[in-house]
Each structure stands twice: as C-alpha cells, then as structure tokens.
Amino acid sequence: MIEIVKDKVWKYLHQRVVVRALGIEYTGIFKGADEEWVFLQCETTWVQIPWLEITSFKPKEAGEEARIYRSIEGEPEPTEEERRKKRARDFEQELKLIRGGKEQSEEAENSSANDKDVNKN
C-alpha cells in the first residue's frame, strides 16, 4: 500500500506540501525521497520523515479532497461524509475541556497548599 502513496507524491516535487506523520503536520517544499525517508525543506530547517509513519500527503494550496491517504490495513476507507464530520469537530468544546482540566488542577494545588498552612498552625 505504501508503494501507491510513493508513486503519487512525485508529481509534487519542488512544490509546497503538507505531510502528516507521527501525529504532526509538516509544511515545506518536497525535495525528494529515497526508500526510507521523505525530505522536506521547511521554513527554518530540513525535515526527514520516515515513509512508514506518513499518513497523508497533499499540496499546500489544495483542499482536503486532494489529500493522499495511506489506508491502514483492516480499516475501511472513510466516506466523504465521515471525513467532513471529522473536520467539522467542535474544537472550542475540546479546548474548554482542556482549559477546565487545567483550572481544576490549579484549584487542587491551591487547596493542598492551604491544607498544609492549616496543618502548620
């Protein structure tokens, strides 16, 4: 399956691309690849990304529909509707949950500090 992805990406040689790998999205100019690595020239540095970790590849200016996906063995391909729903997630709600967790941990730290002060007296 990875050979299919390798064959499709060469048309983007020397173009700005977005590559997802290891849970990170890399943006840079696709400078080439060998059997194991993809080479991107990013704004401040060069990045080598292992082929086996790449999950998608697309030109920078193209929309999501142009993204080349590497499917995972045994997992059915998502439909366009499923992809659209995933992109339209409510990130604000997720951020509130994260912020709420941080605020709660700060409150716990403050209350434990207050407990220590009470125990000293």
The SS3 call for residue 25 is strand
Q: Given this model, what pLDDT does residue 62 score? A: 67
Q: Where are the domains of the chain?
A: 2-77, 89-121
CATH architecture of the region 2-77: Roll (2.30)
> How confident is the prediction for the chain on average, in pLDDT?
73
Give the model confidence (pLDDT) of 87-98 as tens digits.
666 666 666 666
> Cα(114)–Cα(95) distance, rounded to whole angstroms?
29
Predicted local distance difference test score (pLDDT) of residue 28: 93
Per-residue pLDDT tens digits for 35-44: 889 999 998 9
Its pTM stands at 0.51
Give one DSSP letter per residue of 31-88, joined into a string: EEE-SSEEEEE-SSSEEEEEGGGEEEEEETTS-GGGPEE-PPTTSPPPPHHHHHHHHT
Asked whether residue 82 carries a pLDDT value surpassing 70, the answer given is yes
